[in-house]
């Protein structure tokens, strides 16, 4: 059975308060709109996660709230503090503990960009993929029966989008 990963970098966050901790930064207006657009895009293609693993940073949580509002039967979110500024090895370790057929991970750069690049056998033909800008979302399939068997370089790219490509 195929496993599907939806890998999303949080949407654009606010830098309005220079004294606010990085962990507590919320989405800005553009990020709120972009996350809702991502939710519509995912739902329109049938990319509906059964499990959502999310960094515990405020901006990642808010990203999923906006995405979920656009989805039918949105999955509950599981906050994973280990995903906050995680590198590729930590992201893979968290993914290997997933249980649903379709899993969404919402995390941060620079780790998510490197993780995405290492996961796929062939990178998407999108000039923005290496940068993995805010809101970037990769949909990748694996031919594994269990997430424990997922390895770097084994993913088949199904889709990749950044919010400005889908903005209404």
Which pLDDT value is given to residue 27?
Answer: 96
Residue stretches of the chain with pLDDT short of 70 = 1, 168
pTM of the model: 0.97
Which pLDDT value is given to residue 139?
Answer: 98
8 A C-beta contact, residue 55 and residue 84: yes
In a domain, 39, yes or no: yes
Range of the domain at 160: 3-12+21-99+113-166
Average pLDDT over the chain, rounded to an integer: 96
Which pLDDT value is given to residue 137?
Answer: 98
Any idea what the CATH number is for the domain that residue 84 is in? 3.40.50.1240
User: Longest Cα pair distance anywhere in the chain, in angstroms?
Assistant: 48
Bridge partner residues of 157 (DSSP)? 140
In a domain, 25, yes or no: yes
In a domain, 74, yes or no: yes
Q: Is 16 helix (H, G, I), strand (E, B) or coil?
A: coil
- Say how many domains are in the chain: 1
In a domain, 27, yes or no: yes
Which pLDDT value is given to residue 52?
Answer: 98
Which pLDDT value is given to residue 7?
Answer: 98
8 A C-beta contact, residue 102 and residue 92: no
Which pLDDT value is given to residue 61?
Answer: 98
In a domain, 107, yes or no: no
Which pLDDT value is given to residue 17?
Answer: 85
Which pLDDT value is given to residue 19?
Answer: 86
Which pLDDT value is given to residue 26?
Answer: 95
Q: Is 67 helix (H, G, I), strand (E, B) or coil?
A: helix
């Amino acid at each position: 059975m195929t496993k599907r990963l939806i890998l999303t970098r949080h949407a654009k966050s606010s830098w309005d308060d220079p004294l606010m901790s990085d962990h507590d930064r919320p989405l800005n207006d553009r990020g709120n709109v972009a996350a809702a657009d991502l939710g519509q895009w995912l739902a329109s293609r049938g990319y509906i996660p059964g499990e959502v693993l999310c960094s515990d940073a405020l901006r990642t949580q808010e990203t999923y709230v906006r995405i979920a509002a656009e989805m039918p039967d949105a999955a509950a979110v599981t906050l994973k503090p280990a995903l906050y500024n995680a590198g590729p090895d930590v992201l893979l370790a968290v993914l290997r503990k997933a249980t649903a057929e379709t899993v969404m991970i919402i995390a941060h750069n620079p780790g998510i960009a490197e993780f995405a690049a290492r996961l796929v056998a062939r990178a998407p033909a999108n000039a923005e993929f290496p940068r993995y800008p805010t809101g970037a979302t990769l949909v990748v399939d694996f031919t594994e029966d269990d997430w424990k068997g997922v390895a770097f370089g084994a993913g088949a790219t199904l889709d990749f989008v950044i919010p400005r490509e889908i903005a209404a």
